[in-house]
Amino acid sequence: MTTFDDREKAYEAKYAHDAEMQFRAEARRNKLAGLWAAGLMGKTGAVADAYAMEVVKADFAEPGPDDVIRKLAADLGNLADEATIRAKMDELLSTAKVQLLDEAK
């Protein structure tokens, strides 16, 4: 096997790893956003966890976070506007990435 082949395989492996980590981070962000929203709605315990899983599942409707934002905005009503939800999701994506990195250690 040539050096070029080795580099190509390494690049492909890195790309696959990065894509998987991004998917996991977004799923974790969605769960954290669901827990945040559940707290705003007064849900706790198993009910909050179940709601968070609904939010995670909502992300499979279309690519990108807009499907999750629409769900959260509809469910939260006057408790949070779309700008607040988007800002919170950006914050939670950073939190999710840190959590995944900590778990990998």
Token readout for 20 is: 């998987």
Which pLDDT score, from 0 to 100, does residue 64 have? Answer: 85
Does domain 3-104 fall under CATH 1.10.790.20? My reply is yes
Element (H, E) at 2: none
Residues of the chain short of pLDDT 50, as ranges, are: none
| Predicted structure pTM score | 0.87
Which pLDDT score, from 0 to 100, does residue 76 have? Answer: 95
Which pLDDT score, from 0 to 100, does residue 72 have? Answer: 96
| Pick from 44, 38, 33: nearest CA to 91 | 33
Q: How far is residue 37's CA from residue 74's CA, in Å, rounded to a whole number?
A: 11
Q: Which residues, 6+ apart, have CB-to-CB distance to 38 below 8 Å?
A: 44, 47, 48, 51, 52
CA atoms within 13 A on the CB side of 103: 10
